[in-house]
């Protein structure tokens, strides 16, 4: 039975991979609508022929790696169960200590080692192609350093989260999903609060914006928008990438507006002011809190569904999955498998909501700056430097794009008429 299920799972993965490859490289249409030819949204107006070719190649490769890596992770979790690897890890933990937290930590250590080794090829391919297409400038040793930091940060967080989750499962057997959700609310807010000042600095150096003249312009927009900002932060990303970015992170007193130093080098002051006004819009319109609220709502629904499905699967096929009961740590791959499937299934809805808030932020920024030319040129440069598809395929857009496509953003901006 184990061999039969494993063969079917691998076969389905290969069929899915073939479909994705054919869709991305032969079926999907990324040509620009005829009416937009020659407009600011036409990549031929701001990319040369080589950049156009590279952007299509790189985008297809990135999208292929994404769509192959997600079900690959599902396959990994499934095989851990049916071959009894998860049960073996749990026995190692139980044989080492009688303390549940220590047992969980030992289980997770071996689980993370196995996960890292199995998923590493996709991580490395992503790094390799970003280097090949001159997006990443990071050395392999520096990249591996970030990988090691990722491993230990995620491991320590998961020891806390999984220990608490399985204690809740054992204590509240019928309503564990509700108790786990209630416990996740303060924990999620706490993580978002400490991320800008504890977690992010592990990877990069954050400093107040060095260009004080530009900072004064940005703070003037912030004052106009009633944002109590005292600093804009820049982060040293030029040692890792040529890509451009800016973002808002954190909650409450730890909220930060951050600019990559690559953005400071590549964009003009007017273009940066538009980007900053866009990021300020997320603060003004409370998008961070909307994001937290929608995330917690989805988590509530997800945990309820996971609890229902896990109970049925363990009752009917617990022996094949080598799981004695839901509340045993050996069921973790099943929990993660169901979580990942639900997150993927919900991503079109989540991305759709995100694209709506990003559109509102664009509208706010252009109303604030009244400079559509700078806004259009900023988006053009973001696309050119990042080798992004201006008009991505439909499935890529709904499953991967948390922002509107560049063709939509630029086309909307070119219809904007500045106020007199």
Q: What is the pLDDT of residue 401?
A: 94
The yes-or-no verdict on residue 7 having pLDDT over 90 is no
Q: Which of 50-59, 235-244, 410-419: highest mean pLDDT?
A: 50-59
The yes-or-no verdict on residue 121 having pLDDT over 90 is yes
**Catalytic residue positions, numbered:** 279, 362
Identify the band that residue 132 occupies on the pLDDT scale cut at 50, 70 and 90.
very high
> Which structure tokens are listed for 265?
């080098």
* Residue 282 is assigned to a ligand binding site: yes
> Which structure tokens are listed for 345?
């299934």
Radius of gyration of the chain (CA): 23
Share of the chain above pLDDT 90, in %: 57
321-379 pLDDT per residue, tens: 788 888 899 999 999 999 999 999 999 999 999 999 999 999 999 998 889 999 999 99
Contact 142, 240 (CB under 8 A): yes
Report d(CA 292, CA 339) in Å as an integer: 18
Report d(CA 76, CA 114) in Å as an integer: 9
The yes-or-no verdict on residue 131 having pLDDT over 90 is yes
> Which structure tokens are listed for 128?
């390799």
Report d(CA 256, CA 248) in Å as an integer: 6
* Residue 223 is assigned to a ligand binding site: no
Secondary structure tally for the chain: helices H, strands E: 14, 4
The yes-or-no verdict on residue 229 having pLDDT over 90 is no
Q: What is the pLDDT of residue 36?
A: 87
30-43 pLDDT per residue, tens: 888 888 888 888 89
Q: What is the pLDDT of residue 206?
A: 82
Q: What is the pLDDT of residue 420?
A: 54
Q: What is the pLDDT of residue 253?
A: 62
Beta strands in 119-225 (DSSP E): 206-208
Mean pLDDT (whole number) for 130-142: 92
Residue 138 CB-half CA count within 13 A: 23
Report d(CA 302, CA 346) in Å as an integer: 10
181-226 pLDDT per residue, tens: 999 988 888 887 777 777 777 777 888 888 888 888 888 888 877 7
Q: What is the pLDDT of residue 392?
A: 93
Say what the pTM is: 0.89
Identify the band that residue 256 occupies on the pLDDT scale cut at 50, 70 and 90.
confident
Backbone angles phi, psi at 207, to 5 degrees: -135, 155
39 beta partners: none
Beta-carbon contacts of residue 247 (< 8 Å; ≥ 6 apart): 257, 258, 279
Contact 238, 261 (CB under 8 A): yes
Contact 122, 68 (CB under 8 A): yes
Q: What is the pLDDT of residue 144?
A: 93
Mean pLDDT (whole number) for 85-112: 92
419 beta partners: none
Mean pLDDT over each residue of the chain, to the nearest integer: 89
Contacts 24+ apart (CB under 8 A), 39-44: 39/410, 39/411, 39/414, 40/376, 40/380, 40/410, 40/411, 40/413, 40/414, 41/390, 41/406, 41/407, 41/410, 41/411, 41/414, 42/390, 43/383, 43/390
Report d(CA 4, CA 364) in Å as an integer: 56
Widest distance between CA atoms in the chain? 76
The yes-or-no verdict on residue 286 having pLDDT over 90 is no
Report d(CA 88, CA 111) in Å as an integer: 10
Report d(CA 104, CA 100) in Å as an integer: 6
Contact 70, 13 (CB under 8 A): no
> Is residue 176 exposed (0-12), middle (13-18) or buried (19+ Cβ within 10 Å)?
buried
* Residue 403 is assigned to a ligand binding site: no
Q: What is the pLDDT of residue 419?
A: 66
Return the number of other C-beta atoms located less than 10 Å from residue 394's C-beta.
Answer: 11
């Amino acid at each position: 039975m184990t061999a039969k299920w494993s063969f079917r799972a691998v076969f389905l993965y290969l069929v899915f991979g073939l479909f994705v490859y054919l869709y991305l490289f032969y079926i999907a249409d990324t040509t620009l609508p005829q009416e937009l030819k020659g407009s600011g949204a036409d990549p031929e107006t701001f990319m040369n022929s080589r950049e156009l070719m590279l952007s299509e190649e790189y985008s297809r490769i990135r999208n292929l790696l994404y769509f192959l890596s997600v079900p690959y992770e599902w396959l990994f979790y499934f095989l851990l169960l049916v071959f009894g690897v998860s049960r073996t890890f749990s026995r190692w933990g139980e044989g080492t200590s009688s303390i549940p937290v220590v047992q969980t930590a030992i289980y997770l250590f071996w689980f993370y080692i196995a996960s890292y080794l199995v998923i590493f090829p996709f991580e490395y391919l992503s790094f390799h192609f970003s280097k090949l297409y001159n997006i990443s400038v990071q050395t392999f040793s520096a990249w591996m350093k970030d990988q090691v930091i990722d491993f230990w940060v995620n491991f320590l967080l998961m020891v806390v989260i999984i220990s608490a989750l399985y204690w809740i499962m054992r204590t509240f057997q019928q309503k564990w999903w509700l108790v786990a959700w209630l416990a996740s609310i303060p924990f999620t807010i706490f993580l978002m609060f400490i991320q800008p000042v504890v977690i992010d600095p592990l990877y990069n150096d954050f400093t107040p914006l060095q260009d004080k003249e530009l900072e004064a312009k940005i703070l003037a927009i912030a004052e106009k928008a009633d944002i109590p900002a005292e600093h804009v932060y820049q982060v040293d990303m030029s040692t890792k990438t040529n890509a451009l970015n800016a973002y808002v992170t954190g909650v409450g007193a730890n909220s930060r507006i951050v600019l990559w130093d690559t953005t400071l080098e590549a964009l003009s002051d007017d273009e940066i002011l538009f980007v900053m006004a866009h990021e300020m819009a997320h603060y003004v319109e409370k998008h961070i809190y909307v994001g937290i609220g929608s995330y917690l709502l989805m988590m509530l629904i997800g945990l309820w569904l996971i609890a229902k499905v896990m109970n049925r699967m363990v009752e009917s096929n617990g022996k094949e999955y080598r799981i004695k009961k839901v509340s045993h740590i050996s069921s973790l791959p099943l929990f993660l498998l169901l979580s990942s499937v639900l997150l993927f299934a919900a991503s079109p809805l989540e991305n759709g909501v995100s694209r709506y808030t990003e559109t509102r932020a664009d509208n706010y920024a252009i109303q604030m700056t009244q400079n559509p030319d700078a806004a259009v040129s900023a988006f053009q440069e973001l696309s050119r430097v990042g080798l992004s598809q201006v008009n991505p395929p439909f499935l890529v857009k709904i499953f991967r794009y948390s922002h509107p496509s560049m063709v939509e953003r630029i086309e909307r901006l070119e219809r904007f008429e500045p106020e007199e």
